[in-house]
């Protein structure tokens, strides 16, 4: 029996991989297949050069819509870089972090080793204290806005103003701005830590084979009216996609490393949360494909749409999630507003007391969830996988659930949710995805197949 399962998974993997995806045709001087490559590429393996020049395959999710996603695959010789420091990364993206988001020159950037967003100009690491405004300390903030003294109203006054200035200081340094027509590829072991990769008003971007680690906020805000008891909220995602189209995020790993929110102290009776999302798609962004990524041990993961306000987001926020691993993560897997979001062949391994939900059905969202596999820890059932954030409908087909102590089985996620919650969700989101490449695997084949392929350092770099 074991041999049969293994053989089936192998066949599924080969079908899933299929032919090598098309590689964009760069300028003749930069064609790695002929050996005439940019100087920065000459010492790289041929596979790295090919992957760097690769465009998103046709029909591979929403990012294949319109002109498709080619990133920096056509970068000229002088726009190919291997970077090892924060300063080199900023230089490769255009030279000035404040204006790099408008640099639309095609560029291909290979990340070698670990780059820390807290690196100073001299290469030494800055601390939170180095970025803090002189008027801010956490001790002063806690003393000023203790609900027992301040009450349940939003912080204001000199200490809060100093915190905001501190956030501005950190944003200037740890938020790395990416411009249009860019490909960022990590070489084996590449890590971006302590930073946010900001893709804002930047169409046609590819990010692959990078481990994103600990995009921490030095200056979280206390929000006393967020929930019944208030919450600490952080500023920084690991990758943030805003006002952009045709973005492909592939074969990356997202983690908090050795600094998880679960290890943070409690202030004002609430966990002091220093992290925000892994991959957020907001502010009218659209046409995004996230494939073969691994999300490990995080709380808030993926927000698609940041406001319930009916307006510019309508008709936007179209995202495809396929063949990703969600491992030990707690919520927003994803949480969706407005967009048509295709979620298929993902593997969810969910457990822990802090688990809240997997897929959030938000305002005017249209989620299509097909052939995903959920392995659930003790105390989590199929009825807990969806959450109603003022949405009305979600299509779920072919999904399997393996609850603790029970055999795996196919489950109608909407029916399971409706059996225990009111009001009911409709089982028809009103659309059927067409932008898919390769076969959709039966859900029972997803865990073994996707775990073998998803995450950083799985591509042949």
84 in Cβ contact with 112 (< 8 Å): yes
46: enclosing H helix or E strand: helix 46-52
Fill in the DSSP letter of residue 85: S
Which residue do the tokens 């709380």 mark?
A: 299
Measure Cα distances from 288 to 139, 228, 284, 317, 460 in Å: 41, 34, 12, 8, 24
d(CA 421, CA 305): 24
Beta strand 400-402 with 409-410: parallel, antiparallel or unpaired? antiparallel
332 a catalytic residue: yes
d(CA 176, CA 171): 9
Q: Exposed, middle or buried, 288 (CB in 10 Å: 0-12/13-18/19+)?
A: buried
Spot the catalytic one: 332, 335, 349, 397: 332
117 in Cβ contact with 128 (< 8 Å): no
d(CA 279, CA 343): 15
Nearest to 298 by CA among 196, 213, 226: 213
Fill in the DSSP letter of residue 157: S
> Would you call 61 helix, strand, or coil by DSSP?
coil
162: enclosing H helix or E strand: helix 158-174
d(CA 269, CA 48): 49
Q: To the nearest 10°, the Cα dihedral for 177, 180, 186, 192?
A: 10
* Active-site residue set: 332
């Amino acid at each position: 029996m074991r041999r049969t399962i293994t053989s089936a998974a192998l066949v599924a993997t080969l079908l899933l991989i299929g032919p090598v995806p098309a590689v964009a045709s760069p300028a003749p001087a930069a064609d790695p297949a002929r050996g005439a490559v940019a100087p920065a590429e000459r010492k790289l393996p041929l596979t790295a050069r090919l992957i760097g020049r690769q465009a998103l395959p046709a029909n591979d999710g929403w990012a294949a819509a319109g002109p498709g996603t080619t990133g920096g695959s056509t970068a000229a010789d002088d726009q190919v870089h291997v970077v090892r420091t924060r300063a080199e990364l900023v230089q490769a993206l255009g030279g000035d972090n404040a204006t790099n988001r408008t640099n639309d020159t095609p560029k291909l950037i290979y990340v070698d080793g670990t780059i820390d967003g807290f690196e100073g100009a001299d290469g030494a690491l800055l601390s939170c204290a180095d970025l803090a405004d002189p008027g801010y300390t956490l001790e002063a903030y806690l003393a000023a806005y203790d609900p027992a003294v301040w009450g349940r109203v939003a912080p204001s006054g000199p200490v809060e103003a100093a915190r905001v200035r501190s956030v501005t200081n950190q944003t200037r340094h740890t938020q790395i701005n990416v411009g249009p027509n860019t490909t960022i590829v990590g070489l084996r072991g590449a890590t971006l830590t302590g930073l946010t990769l900001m893709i804002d008003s930047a169409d046609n971007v590819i990010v692959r084979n990078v481990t994103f680690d600990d995009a921490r906020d030095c200056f979280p805000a206390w929000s006393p009216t967020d929930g019944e008891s208030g919450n600490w909220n952080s500023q920084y995602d690991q990758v943030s996609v805003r006002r952009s189209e045709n973005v492909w995020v592939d074969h990356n790993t997202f983690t908090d490393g050795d600094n998880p929110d679960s290890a943070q102290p409690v202030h004002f009776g609430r966990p002091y949360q220093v992290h925000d999302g892994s991959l957020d798609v907001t502010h009218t962004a659209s046409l995004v494909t996230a494939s073969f990524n691994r999300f490990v041990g995080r709380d808030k993961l993926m927000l698609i749409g940041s406001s319930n306000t009916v307006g510019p987001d309508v008709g936007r926020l179209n995202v495809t999630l396929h063949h990703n691993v969600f491992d030990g993560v707690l919520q927003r897997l994803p949480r969706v507003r407005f967009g048509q979001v295709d979620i298929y062949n993902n593997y969810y391994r969910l457990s822990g007391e802090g688990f809240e939900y997997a897929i959030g059905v938000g305002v005017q969202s249209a989620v299509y969830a097909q052939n995903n596999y959920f392995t659930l820890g003790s105390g989590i059932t199929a009825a807990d996988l969806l959450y109603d954030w003022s949405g009305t409908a979600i299509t779920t087909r072919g999904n399997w659930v393996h609850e603790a102590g029970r055999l795996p089985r196919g489950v109608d996620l909407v029916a399971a949710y409706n059996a225990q919650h009111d009001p009911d969700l409709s089982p028809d989101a009103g659309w059927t995805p067409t932008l898919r490449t390769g076969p959709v695997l039966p859900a029972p084949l997803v865990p073994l197949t996707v775990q073998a392929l998803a995450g950083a350092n799985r591509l042949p770099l």
